[in-house]
Structure formats: C-alpha cells, structure tokens
Amino acid sequence: MEVEKGTSFIIKYKGIFDMDRLYIVCRQWFEDKLMEFHEETYKYKVPSPLGSEYELAWKAWRKLDEYAKMWINVAWKLWEATEVEVMVDGKRKKMEKARVRIVIDWKIDLDYQNRFDSPFGRHINRFYLKFVYKKKLDNLVTDMAHYKALELQTLIKEELAMATRGNEFASVW
C-alpha cells in the first residue's frame, strides 16, 4: 500500500468564537462530502487559572475509486479556553475565548484493498502506478484531496471570522 501525502493547512486563531457552532459545522461538512468520520480523540483538561485545554483528533475517509482512498485528518488544540457571554443581535450568547491551532492534513492511500500484496503483485502495482494510474493520480485524485482540505480550511476560517465568505477554488471540485 502506497501513500501520497499532501501539504498541511494550519490555522492559528486567538479570540472569541462559537465553539459549538464551529464543531457542528465542521462535522456536517464531512457528512455532506459523504466521508466516513471518526473522532479518535477528545481530551479535556481541568481548567487552570488561565483556562481549560481541549485536544481533538478527527479522521475521515472516502473511497475515490477501486484503487484510491482519500483521508482528511484534523487535529485541534485549544488552550486558555474560557466561557464568556457576549451580546449577539441583542441577545446574550455563551461563546469561547481561546487560543486555537487547527492542522488539516490529507493523504491518498493507493491499493487500500491490498490487491497487489504479493511479490508478483508489487511489480504489477508499480507498472500500474507508473503507466496507467499516474496521470489520474497527478491530475485528478491528488488535486481533489488538496481542494477538499482547502475547502475545509476556508469553512473554518469563515466560522472564526478570519476570512471573507467563499474562496477562489470553490467551484473546482
């Protein structure tokens, strides 16, 4: 099984935001993209005088075809998190004030079903990758994974009010 890894997208933020909404919107994004979602880690540390800490690790995957599977991994780290009340449209609302670091990684698993898991199969797999699947991998599969991760990054930035609505790559995939 071979793996094509992509670039990481890192989001750093410090301020007030609606953590519940951010969590729900990101979780819904994975469902909308028909990805199998797993929350592997959810850690909450007891608050210190500065605030509490959270760590989350998400993994989601989707089969692209019979040979490739796309993975998107999201690692959340929140610290100095405190609950604050703010006025939104004339109503009191509880939100989080925290420092946030979110890392979004993507990768492509090739031959995820281990069809070529024999000495002879590995030679066939190399031939298939080099001459048959290479163009699709370079021009379609890795681009799709990259732009899906970029789309998730844009969504998170919009929810944190870090960026304007939409992005220039929204219609690519």
In the chain, where the domains are located: 2-159
Residue 154's CB is within 10 A of a number of other CB atoms, namely: 20
Q: What percent of the chain has pLDDT over 90?
A: 61
pLDDT for res 131: 87
CA distance 33 to 46: 34
pLDDT for res 40: 96
**pLDDT single digits (tens) 85-98:** 998 888 999 999 99
Say if residue 60's pLDDT is above 90: yes
pLDDT for res 125: 85
**pLDDT single digits (tens) 5-21:** 888 999 999 999 999 99
CA distance 169 to 161: 19
pLDDT for res 122: 86
